[in-house]
Amino acid sequence: MRRVLIIGATSAIAEATARLLAARGDSLFLVARDADRLQTIATDLGVRGAVRVATATLEVTDFDAHAAVINAASLALGGIDTVLIAHGTLSDQIECQGSVDALRREFVINALSTMALLTPLANLLEAQGFGTLAVISSVAGDRGRQSNYVYGSAKAALSVFLGGLRQRLAKSKVNVLTIKPGFVDTPMTAAFKKSALWAQPAQIATGIVNAIDRGRSVVYLPWFWSIIMLIIRSIPEPIFKRLKL
């Protein structure tokens, strides 16, 4: 039985992942902004088999509140084995191009808040000498594109941070998993036209749980995004500049 802290627990991917963990009898501590939604999800996870489910509300940009929530999770679960961080926003690229405030807000939510949460969590797991930190980044962080380079650069910063953290914590038997989903059909992407490249949250959740169990370092979900992003990263810059991506 794992003792799992999930931050951003009301996101579609996090909820689908929590259902898989609940079904095998894990204990869960759920964190998000919406208390009512959290309680609804917690009740459902209890029915699905979770040994214990507790919740706490948190605005991730309130950095001063991070420590209290982490302490509450550790007390409620009797320790923390695994952390999944899944919060984030899909930035409005046009708005961010015209507003420094919007640009800063998106970086704080999609990069700095996660790094701030990971700092005490990494120290906690390093001191105990085991555990997993699983964090949702994005394929968008693999190469800057005109359609979403603000969101992509925040995720790129996060991916680099996770890479360094992984190397630091490897000697303490703490695994750091970077999760890079491609297109996922969630409420956040409801307005987008869907194609065969889009995945459902349950598919991504299965990939996340498998990657945690296997101690993976980086995982693209679904798997074919590793091939797609390899191609995109390999396009020479003179050609890339002429593409509409």
- Provide the strand spans (E) within the chain: 3-7, 27-32, 52-57, 82-85, 131-136, 174-181, 218-221
Q: Is 151 one of the annotated active-site residues of the chain?
A: yes
Catalytic-labelled residue, pool 29, 107, 151, 161: 151
Q: Tell me the residue type at 18.
A: A
Two structure tokens written together for 72: 């509450």
> Nearest-5° angle of CA 209, CA 210, CA 211?
90
How far lies 1's CA from each of 26, 53, 79, 126, 151, in Å?
5, 13, 12, 20, 35
Maximal C-alpha separation, the chain: 55
Residues belonging to the chain: 245
Q: Which of 112, 106, 115 is nearest to 133 (CA)?
A: 115
Coil, strand, or helix at residue 199?
strand
Would you say 55 and 14 are in contact if contact means Cβ atoms under 8 Å apart? Answer: no
Please give the distance of CA 182 from its chain centroid, rounded to a whole number. Answer: 13
Long-range CB contact pairs, 232-235, < 8 A, 24+: 232/142, 232/143, 233/142, 233/143
Would you say 54 and 4 are in contact if contact means Cβ atoms under 8 Å apart? Answer: no
Give catalytic residues, as residue numbers: 151
